[in-house]
Amino acid sequence: MTNSSTLYFSHAITRAPAPTVTGGLRAIDQGAPDPALFSSHHSAYISALQATGAEVVQLPALVNYPDSVFVEDTALCLPEGAIVMRPGAPSRLGEAVEMATVLPQYFKEIRYITSGHVEGGDILVTSKEILVGRSARTDEKGVAALREIVTDWGYELRELQTPAGVLHFKTDCGLLDEDTILSTQRLAASGCFADYKILHVAEGEEACANAVRFNDIILFPAGFPKTASLLRDHGFDLVEIPNTEAAKVDGGMSCLSLRFTKYPDPDPDTASYE
């Protein structure tokens, strides 16, 4: 694994939020998201990705899957290939099936989680290892199935525990550079990031921990000024994106895209691009 593969990407896959997003899963009812406002925020997110020079694949909405805008949970994209996840929420299993039809256009090898459950929101890929947090959506069998695949590709996987009451491991953390992780105090207190430099989100701003490094910018939810100032003081270039509607259905910055580099196909006649 090279350091650049965790920070720099040529492509991102997104999916438009469906009007049915109002029925999306949520741990706490904070009211239904406004579909029109959600779409506006989603457009701002896509624009931020495109501004880095990346090609953004914009998939159509899936009205039968209210949570399908959160594409990260459906797959793990690595330089060696893509792994189709097996979401722990039964209503989301079909989302992974839909994504599996798209990925062969961008990856030479596609593998599948066939036992247990794993969602991409519980997976943090760093320059050193793949961290996977067990949660209500990711179980022991799923982690074992994922370990078998990534070990075959030469990665080390470290299994951790997502804090109680937290939906996904990455709800509480985000990769900022090769050695630095943004984390909540409650997650960092477990010692899971002992080998990394940690920047803690400001007290009361725990909801911004799910920031995403994409090329030379940090995709960061708007409305968390103390943590934003901290990151800028450490030299990070932030693009603040409104996220109020996604947050109502437990969504953050990483949830909204699959990020990867598309390497040239050895036979251009067989390659398919969007």
Distance CA 178, CA 127 (A): 6
Strand order in the sheet with 197-200: 173-175, 180-183, 197-200
Distance CA 177, CA 192 (A): 17
> Residue with structure tokens 């062969």?
104
* 41 is a catalytic site residue: no
Q: Which two structure tokens, joined as six digits, stand for 30?
A: 């904070």
Q: Who's near 225: CB < 8 A, 6+ residues apart?
A: none
Up-side HSE of residue 195: CA atoms within 13 Å toward CB? 7
- Write down the catalytic residue from 41, 168, 192, 208: 168
Residues belonging to the chain: 274
Distance CA 110, CA 96 (A): 12
Query: Would you say 68 and 96 are in contact if contact means Cβ atoms under 8 Å apart?
Result: no
* 77 is a catalytic site residue: no
Catalytic residue ranges: 168, 255
